[in-house]
Chains A and B, each alone.
Chain A
Amino acid sequence: MIEARNVIKKYGSVTALDDFSVEIPKGKIGILGPNGAGKSTFVKIALGLITANSGKVTVLGESLDKNSVDIRRKIGYMPEHDCIPNHMSGVEFLIEMGLVSGMDTPNATQRTHEILGHLQMGDEKYRKIEEYSGGMRQKIKLAQGLIHGPEIIFLDEPTSGLDPKARLEMLDTINGLTEIGNTNVLLSTHILQDVETVCDHVIIINNGKLQMKDNVKELMKRQNDFIQVRVGGDIDGFVDILKNNKINVTTDGRILRVPYVNDQTFQQIIDAAVENNCQLYEMERSKVTMDNIYLEVVE
Chain B
Amino acid sequence: MKDEAQVSEKFAKYDPKLTTRPRIVIGMGLRGFFNLIKLNKKGVWNLALVFLIYLWSIVFFVLMAGEGNVYPCEQMNSEFKYCQPIAYYEDLGLGGIRLFLVTLAAIASGGLIANDMNDKSLHLYLSRPIGRLDYLIARFIPIFLLLIFVTVVPNLITFMTQWSNSGLEFDWIKNHKWLMFDIIIQGIFYSTSYSIIGLTFSTLINREYRAAGAFFLFVYGTNIIVEIFHSFVKDDRVLLLSIAHLLDIVSFKIFKAEYYFTSFGDLKGIELSNIEIFGALTIIIGGCGIFVNWMISQMEENK
A interface residues with partner B (beta carbon < 8 Å): 11, 40, 44, 47, 49-50, 69-73, 75, 77, 79-86, 96-97, 99-104, 107, 111, 114-115, 117-118, 144, 148-150, 180-182
Contact = CB atoms under 8 A, between A and B. Distances in A.
Contacts of B19: 102-104
Contacts of B193: none
A69 B130 contact: yes
B7 interface: yes
Given A81-B120, A83-B119, A99-B28, A111 B125 contact: no
Interface of B: 4, 7-8, 10-12, 14-21, 23-24, 27-28, 31, 115-116, 119-131, 134, 300-301, 303
A114 B7 contact: yes
B16 A84 contact: no
Residue in A44, A49, A111 whose Cβ sees the most chain B Cβ within 10 Å: A49
Contacts of B126: 49
- What is the interface of chain B mostly: helix, strand, loop, or mixed? helix
Given A50-B301, A118-B7, A180-B8, 18 more contacts: A47-B127, A49-B127, A69-B131, A72-B127, A73-B18, A79-B303, A83-B120, A83-B121, A83-B123, A84-B121, A97-B128, A100-B130, A107-B17, A115-B11, A117-B7, A118-B8, A181-B11, A182-B12
7 residue pairs, one from A and one from B, having the closest CB atoms: A102-B18, A83-B120, A77-B127, A149-B14, A149-B16, A72-B129, A102-B19
Residue in A49, A102, A149 whose Cβ sees the most chain B Cβ within 10 Å: A102
Contacts, number: 112
Residue in B4, B125, B129, B131 whose Cβ sees the most chain A Cβ within 10 Å: B129
Contacts of B31: 96, 99
A219 B134 CA distance: 44
Contacts of B301: 11, 44, 49-50
Nearest to A79: B123
Contacts of B27: 99
A102 B119 contact: no
A275 B172 CA distance: 119
A274 B129 CA distance: 70
A148 B121 contact: no
B123 A100 contact: no
B141 to A, nearest CB: 14
A236 to B, nearest CB: 53
B11 A100 contact: no
Contacts of A96: 31
Given A104-B19, A114-B7, A70 B129 contact: yes
Given A50-B300, A85-B121, A148 B18 contact: yes
25 contacts: A40-B303, A69-B129, A69-B131, A72-B129, A75-B127, A79-B303, A80-B303, A81-B303, A82-B120, A83-B120, A83-B124, A85-B119, A85-B121, A97-B128, A100-B130, A102-B19, A102-B24, A103-B17, A104-B19, A107-B16, A107-B17, A118-B11, A144-B124, A148-B18, A180-B12
